[in-house]
Structure 1
């Protein structure tokens, strides 16, 4: 793997589960589920949260979630708060936009 700090590297991926209105995921907000997915992606790749330099997070319909859901998810995954986070709201294209 390249050691150039300017290179972008995707080391793993995990997605949040699909649910239904009022179903078993009802107690969780999107940043909590996102934090779980980020934590799992880090676990699968063997990367520590402290090694992540930036988080780009796709979140559809962030209304009512508070400010910067991507930052909330990053924090819940154990990534240090001194790292930048970006939340992308592009409806179905959020995840694709996050990796392009």
Structure 2
């Protein structure tokens, strides 16, 4: 069985800093949307049986670097120049209340 290499230290911090940088990504061709296999069970980010602190996840995803001066990235992330549709599927053990 082949395992993916471990993530480099600070990869998330660098990716979020790049997302808030003035760098404009290169234009990529549009690929039509395709259905996502929502029926499949995805990996649990905190490990089996651990709760997901949604507040912390959202704060980290929206946090700008200290030296950013409060400015966010001028274009959509993921190299796109059109809106990006994100989906967050949560279940039992999440800090988000039902409903």
Higher strand share: 1
Q: Report which structure shows greater RCO (CA 8 Å, sep ≥6).
A: 2
Higher helix share: 1
Scaled to the shorter chain, the TM-score interval is under 0.3
TM-score, normalised with respect to structure 1: 0.27
**Based on CA coordinates, which of the two structures has the bigger radius of gyration?**
2
TM-score, normalised with respect to structure 2: 0.28
